Amino acid sequence: MKCLFIFNPKSGKGKIAKKADKIAEKLGQSFDSVTLHPSTSSQDVFDQIVLRQNEIDCVVVAGGDGTISQAVNAIMHTGKKIKLGILPFGTVNDVAHSLKIPRNTNKALDIILKGQTFLHDVIKINDRYGIYVFGCGVFTETSYNTSQKAKKSFGRVAYGLHALKKLKETKNNHLSCVFDGEKFCQLSCFLLLSNSRYVAGQKIERKAQLNDGKARVVLIKSKRQKPSLKDLARIVKLFLFGQKNSKNVVVRNIQKAQISCQEKINFNLDGEQLAADKINLCIVKQGLEIFAAKK
């Protein structure tokens, strides 16, 4: 088997760059060949995988959730059965936590070297693919707008500081949603679809199956153009205690969704920005084989 090892030199406060050669050497214990590539951008991660798709059987990525997402997007676009290995070096590492992949590099490598895999669902959004979270509204832009410098200095606290700073500029969105045929037309402060046990570092769904062909969607309604204190309280409650259906909160487990907006807005797909006014979403059941701890 041939392996492409891609790492984000900026992840893990730059520590990954110092470990890359040793990681590649260790991967060589299980793969016939290992090609090392330091990524220059998210687009570069995608481009390298697509370029080498006929030369590789596996992609190992070292970085955060954004780097993993680009790898997932590229692998799904190739249409080939390329396995994915994950070495968590990000600020939050939600995907790795959900799959019980340890932050310790040697322990994470051992999972790959043992060859144990898990068939994970994939989220398809229009012509893009993601693996664990999609949404819009209050706080959802922090992951792609928080500066790398701030993350390097303050870690995950940087996300919270950025969110508070941008709160005054945030407005609610008019969304027309169809969840598995059920229609909602609503002014909303927050929309979140997740196929993960962790989102933003919080254990948001303990029983998430990750491979059952469904994802959980939460739509928090609002009565005002700007987020109110009650709106913010409902979002905080979601992350701290989970949410149940109520007058102001819609919770569903779905396979498909269509979402339209009055204007193009910014959505968050696995921590990366996606601007759109129409969304067609579906869950690709067990669409990707990932090296992971025993589920």
With cut-offs at 50, 70 and 90, classify the pLDDT of residue 141.
Answer: low
Tokens of 77: 């676009």
Cross-strand pairs, 237: none
Q: Which residues pair with 274 in a beta bridge?
A: 267
CB 48 within 8 A of CB 130: no
What is the reported pLDDT for 282?
98
121 pLDDT tier (thresholds 50, 70, 90): very high
Q: Which fold has domain 2-117?
A: Rossmann fold (3.40.50)
The band of 295, judged by pLDDT with boundaries at 50, 70 and 90, is low
Give the pLDDT score at 123.
Answer: 98
Question: In the structure, what pLDDT confidence band is assigned to residue 165 with cuts at 50, 70 and 90?
Answer: low
Minimal CA–CA distance to 192: which of 210, 214, 219, 212?
Answer: 219
Average pLDDT over residues 97-106: 93
Model confidence at 215: pLDDT above 90: yes
Q: How many Cα atoms are found within 13 Å in the side-chain-facing hemisphere of 65? A: 28
The gap from C-alpha 140 to its chain's centroid, in whole angstroms, comes to: 12
- What's the pLDDT at 45? 94
Distance CA 239, CA 241 (A): 6
Query: What mean pLDDT comes out for the span 101-122?
Result: 95
Please say if the pLDDT value at position 148 is more than 60.
Answer: no
Residue 13 has pLDDT above 70, yes or no: no
- Write the CA distances from 176 to 97, 107, 218, 277, integer angstroms: 33, 45, 14, 10
φ/ψ of 121, rounded to 5, equals -65, 155
Tokens found for residue 115: 């060859």
Q: Which CATH number fits domain 130-285: 3.30.67.10, 1.50.10.20, 2.60.120.10, 2.60.200.40?
A: 2.60.200.40
Domain spans in the chain, listed from the N-terminal domain onward: 2-117, 130-285
Angle at 45 between CA 41 and CA 46, to 5 degrees: 115
Confidence of residue 68 (pLDDT cuts 50, 70, 90): very high
162 pLDDT tier (thresholds 50, 70, 90):
very low
Tell me what the pLDDT averaged over the chain comes to.
Answer: 86
The answer, as to whether pTM is greater than 0.75, is yes
Question: What is the per-residue pLDDT for 255?
Answer: 97
